[in-house]
Amino acid sequence: MDIAAMRKEYALAGLDRPELDPDPLKQFTKWFAIHLAAPDGEPNIMTLATAGRDGAPSSRSLLLKGYDADGFRFFTNYGSRKARQIEENPRVSLTFHWFELERQVNIEGSVTRTSREVSRAYFDSRPLGSRFGAILSAQSSVVADRAYLEERLRALEERYATEDPPLPEHWGGYCVRPTRYEFWQGRLNRLHDRFQYRLEATGAWVIERLAP
């Protein structure tokens, strides 16, 4: 296998400045909706990149669970590696890679915890098994084997056989407030179209084309 020879040309579409909405959130919504309508589209899959106080980065894929003018929301265990890094350094980035459309969106900004009310509303909307998973998993910690997790799951199923499990203290939401967006459209010969929205101190968004 010659990995160096593996490549795909991108030729589905281009991206020009007049096509962009002045509001990056509206531009994101436009692209999100197009991907959502695509066969087997999962536009809410994103990569979250974090770095702790030591500067060492880490990244993982997770699901966007809501966005609006306040920011982009996801939920996780507050004891996880990503949560610990967020506590040390609340600057993160999100990347959405929409392969079918040959597009990417990168969002950079600061992140804070959501309110307990927001976390509880989402937690209560999840399937019961997902709620049990959030309760029993000390995410990112070392466990002896899978049997340990399955034993804890059985115990929770017995404990909450007739009532809903409560929102655990160690689990909840985060909201990323963007300071920069980048919209990327793949093009032939790697001459991709890239536009960044940069937030100025005045609160205005400046749109700039970037070299590919």
33 CB-near residues (< 8 Å, 6+ apart): none
Looking at CATH, the fold of the domain delimited by 13-210 is given as Pnp Oxidase; Chain A (2.30.110)
What is the structure's pLDDT at 38?
82
What are the pLDDT digits (tens) for 61-71? 999 999 999 99
What are the pLDDT digits (tens) for 155-195? 999 999 999 999 999 999 999 999 999 999 999 999 999 99
Closest CA to 51 of 106, 92, 80: 92
What are the pLDDT digits (tens) for 34-53? 999 987 778 999 999 999 99
Residue in 190, 194, 198, 209 annotated catalytic? 190
Q: How confident is the model at residue 200 (pLDDT cuts 50, 70, 90)?
A: very high
Residue ranges of domains in the chain: 13-210
Closest CA to 52 of 79, 19, 86, 25: 86
Q: Which two tokens stand for residue 21?
A: 């909405």
Q: What percent of the chain has pLDDT over 70?
A: 100
- Is 53 one of the annotated active-site residues of the chain? no
pTM beyond 0.95: no
DSSP E strands, 37-150: 45-51, 57-63, 66-68, 71-77, 91-98, 103-113
Q: How confident is the model at residue 146 (pLDDT cuts 50, 70, 90)?
A: very high
What is the structure's pLDDT at 138?
85
Per-residue DSSP letter, 106: E
